[in-house]
Amino acid sequence: MIRRQARLRREYLYRKSLEDQEKRTHDRKKALKAALDSGKPIPTELRQEAEAIHKSVQYTDADREEVHDHVDDEYAFAGVEDPKLVITTSHDPSSKLKQFCKEMCLVFPNCQRLNRGNHVVGQLVEACRANNVTDLIIVHEHRGEPDGLVVSHLPFGPTASFTLSDTVMRHDTEGKEKMSQVFPHLVFDGFSSKLGSRVKDILKYLFPVPKEDSRRIITFSNDSDYILFRHHTYKKKDGKTIELDEVGPRLQMRLFQIRLGTIDQTDADMEWKLRPYMNTAKKRKHLSTTED
């Protein structure tokens, strides 16, 4: 099993290393095709290899012109198979963190809660891989308050780390609705940038595809890089009006970093990280901006 996982990891990294080369080739083909279609002169940097590129363009299927991305490998079975999640806590959790972990386990369908005990991260990841778990979620705390959420997609990654704030438990919310186990509809607002699309995929594929008659809604609303998480059910009244009932829990998330490997791979490449000097929207490329 260890040899197989190592081989699959090497194959994944090799495919990922070819992405830049494939993207450059795709851009050259696209530029030459645009010049030929518009009747403009061929760009200077493409004139020496114009004939070879033109032949490859002629034999390229129009339906397969998009470049293969490592995201396609990470979520290859998304929507085909229901995700299988495991959620756990940091070492020696407080009673409040245990309660929060139980509530989050009910938020995600097909989720199993695991007592951390003395297990290290590597053991957790290997156990999840052996049981075909798609995502490992670890919740952290500071002085009894949940302050961190790590989502590690298996078997290759990515691993997204979020900070948590303004956490409100279910019993502290005004709504007293029971926690439904129906697959929820998802609402994403403000994830319009390339980074926002990446975060949207990480969160979206934690949930299976719902049925049309599901009356459970989970909302992720981005406001200045802070993701507001809300959980509601709705009822129809008089066939026209809809009444929302908050189920809870309620919390606020902020993306801290995205790594291209699993949580146990400390040497994995850093895809994105929030840094102190990112004090402008252009540098930060936050989730809602369209400047990529």
Both 260 and 186 in one domain: the answer is yes
Both 55 and 132 in one domain: the answer is no
Both 101 and 196 in one domain: the answer is yes
Which of 68, 101, 122 delimits the end of a domain? 68
Along the 292 residues of the chain, how does pLDDT read in single tens digits? 567 767 777 777 777 677 767 777 777 777 777 776 777 776 766 666 666 665 565 545 544 455 555 555 678 777 788 999 999 999 999 999 999 999 999 999 999 999 998 999 999 999 998 899 999 999 999 988 999 999 999 988 899 999 999 999 988 877 666 788 899 999 999 999 989 999 999 999 999 999 999 999 999 999 988 999 999 998 888 777 888 888 889 999 999 999 988 999 888 889 999 887 765 555 555 677 644 4
Q: 35 lies in a domain?
A: yes
Number of domains in the chain: 2
Rounded-to-integer distance, Cα 111 and Cα 14, Å = 32
Could you list the residue range(s) of the whole structural domain that residue 47 is in?
Answer: 2-68
Both 89 and 58 in one domain: the answer is no
Which of 39, 68, 97 delimits the end of a domain? 68
Both 233 and 100 in one domain: the answer is yes
Beta strand 111-113 pairing with 85-89: parallel
Both 26 and 94 in one domain: the answer is no
Q: 78 lies in a domain?
A: no
Pinpoint the alpha helices (H) of 149-284. 194-204, 281-284
Both 51 and 108 in one domain: the answer is no
For the entire predicted model, the pTM comes to 0.79
Q: Are 291 and 194 in contact (CB under 8 A)?
A: no
DSSP state, 81? B
Both 207 and 102 in one domain: the answer is yes
Both 54 and 129 in one domain: the answer is no
User: What's the CATH code of the domain at 110?
Assistant: 3.40.50.10480
